[in-house]
Structure 1
Amino acid sequence: MIYIYNDFGGTHTTSLAAAYHLRLLKLSDLTKNDILSVPYFNQLTKKEAGQILYRGMDEENNPVYTIGRRSSKYVVPALIDLCTILLRRYGEKEKVIISNTSPTVPPLMTAGGFLSRELGIDSIGVPLLVKGAQQCHDLIYHLVEETKQVSKASHEQVVVMENKKYQYQIGKKNILWKK
């Protein structure tokens, strides 16, 4: 199986998802250092949008990738088509799982990402990103676990997961994982 996590920028929730998938993080209260030490977290720029970044091999020897799609609605359909072409051409029995992490993004992370990545104001943006990551990290963990379960249960070669049920609940003390 090949896993590809995607979101707008490819540097926040996708980095956390890849870190959970690769067991670089455990489900616990994350500290600022835990979050900022995640590979690629808050480090990618607009120029790296659309690049499929290799993050590592999971415990079952499956490669894990991430991609930032920015505002393009064409990135995921292009990925699906490319995967389908390559799988047909080379006769592979591989599965590709494309999992959207965007629904897990809380407002603090959106604001922090904009301030840090778009405006370069890290002194304000990074603390907001850390707080946002602390708010949504358990949603991301559950999203990753479901992504792994779906990958094993599905009979399709290319699976796209929109993950709309993992939405951050505004106005609640804790983030809720909707079933």
Structure 2
Amino acid sequence: MKYYIYNCFGGTHSSPLAAAYHLNKLPMDRKPTDSEVKNVYLFNKLKPKDGGKLYYHGEDENGDKVYTVARRYTKNVNAAIESLGMLLLNNDDKIILSNTSPTVPLAMTFGGFTSRFLKIDFIGVPLLVLGAKQTYINLIKLVENTKNYQHLAVEKVTTLDNKNFNKN
């Protein structure tokens, strides 16, 4: 079994969108609508206290599990998941941690700050939706790369930082 864990700073924007694309809950052939973006599980819902918690999003077409997690201000979340995975996984199981942060456009950054930190949703949410639409192709490519990586992964736990991910 594979466990895909998409992660980003706040765990409430790019990683839930990636999980939704992974699970075919968002369209792959067009930009999502405002409503589709806003209805993604956990989109713009998490608070700082939710950092480090794993959230289950569903099972993909191969029976593999998809999760998200917020890293917040620490890189230790991924290290803790890696250590735990090494202890608990069966021989054929794999965890693939995929960083979605490189796909985040400026509109999503400002929208997240405005909505989650300043609590000004009437400005932040439209910026978040705009950012989600701006980066939908990038998220789809990142998810496809993450899913394809399962065939290359030799370690029990693999971290994809995606720093060299090419944005459109």
* Per-residue Cα deviation, 1:32-65 (whole angstroms, up to 9, x for no partner): 1111011111111111111000110000000100
The alignment partner of 1:5 has SS state of strand
Preserved contact between residue 17 and residue 141 of structure 1 (Cα < 8 Å): yes
Supply the distance in 2 between the matched residues of 1:92 and 1:48 (Cα, whole angstroms): 30
One-letter code of the match for 1:21?
H
Match of 1:77 in 2: 79
Map 1:16-165 to 2 at 5 A: 16-27=17-28, 28-87=30-89, 91-165=90-164
> How high is the TM-score relative to the length of structure 1?
0.89
Supply the distance in 1 between the matched residues of 2:115 and 2:18 (Cα, whole angstroms): 20
- Tell me the CA shift for residue 156 of structure 1: 1.6
Supply the distance in 1 between the matched residues of 2:70 and 2:137 (Cα, whole angstroms): 21
Supply the distance in 1 between the matched residues of 2:47 and 2:128 (Cα, whole angstroms): 15
Preserved contact between residue 105 and residue 167 of structure 1 (Cα < 8 Å): no
Supply the distance in 1 between the matched residues of 2:77 and 2:153 (Cα, whole angstroms): 22
Match of 1:173 in 2: none
> Structure 2: where are the runs of 5+ without partners?
none
Match of 2:9 in 1: 8
Greater C-alpha Rg: 1
- Tell me the CA shift for residue 167 of structure 1: 5.2
Q: Taking structure 1 as reference, are residues 167 and 70 closer, same or farther at Cα in structure 2, changes over 3 Å only?
A: farther
> How high is the TM-score relative to the length of structure 2?
0.95
One-letter code of the match for 1:24?
K
* Per-residue Cα deviation, 1:111-170 (whole angstroms, up to 9, x for no partner): 0000101111000000100111111111011000010101122222111101112354xx
- Tell me the CA shift for residue 71 of structure 1: 1.2
Q: Structure 1 segments of 4 or more deviating over 4 A?
A: none
> Structure 1: where are the runs of 5+ without partners?
169-175
Q: CA RMSD in A?
A: 1.1
Q: Greater relative contact order: 1 or 2 (C-alpha under 8 angstroms, separation 6 or more)?
A: 2
Identity of aligned residues (%): 47
* Per-residue Cα deviation, 1:69-115 (whole angstroms, up to 9, x for no partner): 1010211111111111112xxx4420110000001001110000001
